[in-house]
C-alpha cells in the first residue's frame, strides 16, 4: 500500500480556509497546490494497484470458467476503503508535510514521470516536485548562467571599444549555445533513465531569445566597424 498518512479522515470535513491559506496568502494557490498533490496521489495509487493486480492476471485463450479470486477482491476492497486523494493531500498540507514551491521562476524545465509525479530542473540540480529532495547535481548550468550574465553586463560598458565588444558578443553567443546543449544533454539523460517526458519553463526561453539578438548585434558591430574604417581611409 502507498505510504501516506494514517490518520486521514475518510469523510469530508469542514476546514477554515483563512487559516489554510496563511502560507500562500492566496486561497486559489492553496487549492491548486492541494489539487496537484491529489492528482499525484491518485496516479501513484492507480499505478500500484494495477501492478498488484497483475499478479492475479490469467492469460488463457480457452473459454474455461474463471472462479472468483478472494484475494483479488479483498485487495480491491482495501484500496476502495482508502481515503480520497483530495483528503490525503489536504491533511498533508495542514500538517506541513507537503512540499511546494510557489515562486518557481528559477525552474527552467519540468519532467513528468510515469507515475504522474514531477521533477524540476533549475540552475543547480534536478529535484523532486513532491518533497524537494535533489536527485542530480547540474551545477554546470548555474556556472554558465553566471558567466553569461556577467559577460552580458560587461558588454554594456564596452561601447567605446567596438572590437572588444564584438569579440565578447561572439563569446557570449557560444556560451549560451553551450549552456543550451548542456541542458539538452542533462534532460535527455534524465528522461532516458526515468522514462520521463520533458517540458520547458519560461526561464529557458530567455537564452533562446537571446541567440538571434546577439547574432544581429554582432553583425551590426561588424558593419559599423567596416563603415568607420572606410571613412578613415577616405580622410
Per-residue pLDDT of the chain (235 residues), as tens digits, is 555 555 676 777 777 777 777 777 777 778 877 887 888 788 778 877 777 777 766 655 554 545 566 777 777 777 777 888 888 888 888 777 776 665 455 788 888 887 767 788 888 888 887 667 778 888 888 899 999 999 989 888 887 887 888 889 999 999 999 999 999 999 999 999 888 888 888 888 888 999 999 999 888 888 887 888 787 776 6
Closest CA to 232 of 169, 157, 167, 162: 162
What are the cell numbers at 233?
A: 581611409
Q: Compute the distance between CA of residue 127 and CA of residue 136 in angstroms, rounded to an integer.
A: 7
Amino acid at each position: 500500500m502507498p505510504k501516506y498518512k494514517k490518520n486521514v479522515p475518510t469523510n469530508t470535513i469542514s476546514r477554515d480556509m483563512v487559516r489554510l491559506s496563511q502560507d500562500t496568502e492566496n486561497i486559489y494557490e492553496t487549492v491548486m497546490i492541494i489539487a496537484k498533490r491529489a492528482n499525484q496521489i491518485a496516479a501513484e495509487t492507480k499505478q500500484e494497484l494495477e501492478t498488484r493486480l497483475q499478479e492475479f492476471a490469467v492469460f488463457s485463450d480457452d473459454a474455461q470458467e474463471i472462479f472468483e479470486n478472494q484475494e483479488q477482491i479483498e485487495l480491491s476492497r482495501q484500496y476502495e476503503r482508502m481515503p480520497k486523494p483530495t483528503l490525503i493531500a489536504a491533511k498533508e498540507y495542514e500538517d506541513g508535510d507537503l512540499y511546494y514551491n510557489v515562486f518557481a521562476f528559477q525552474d527552467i524545465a519540468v519532467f513528468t514521470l510515469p507515475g504522474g509525479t514531477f521533477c524540476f530542473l533549475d540552475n543547480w540540480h534536478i529535484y523532486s516536485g513532491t518533497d524537494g529532495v535533489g536527485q542530480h547535481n547540474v551545477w554546470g548550468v548555474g556556472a554558465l548562467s553566471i558567466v553569461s550574465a556577467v559577460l552580458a553586463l560587461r558588454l554594456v560598458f564596452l561601447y567605446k571599444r567596438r572590437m572588444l565588444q564584438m569579440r565578447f558578443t561572439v563569446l557570449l553567443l557560444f556560451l549560451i549555445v553551450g549552456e543550451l546543449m548542456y541542458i539538452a544533454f542533462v534532460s535527455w539523460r534524465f528522461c532516458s533513465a526515468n522514462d520521463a517526458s520533458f517540458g520547458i519553463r519560461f526561464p529557458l526561453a530567455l537564452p533562446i531569445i537571446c541567440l538571434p539578438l546577439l547574432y544581429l548585434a554582432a553583425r551590426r558591430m561588424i558593419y559599423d566597424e567596416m563603415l568607420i574604417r572606410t571613412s578613415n581611409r577616405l580622410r
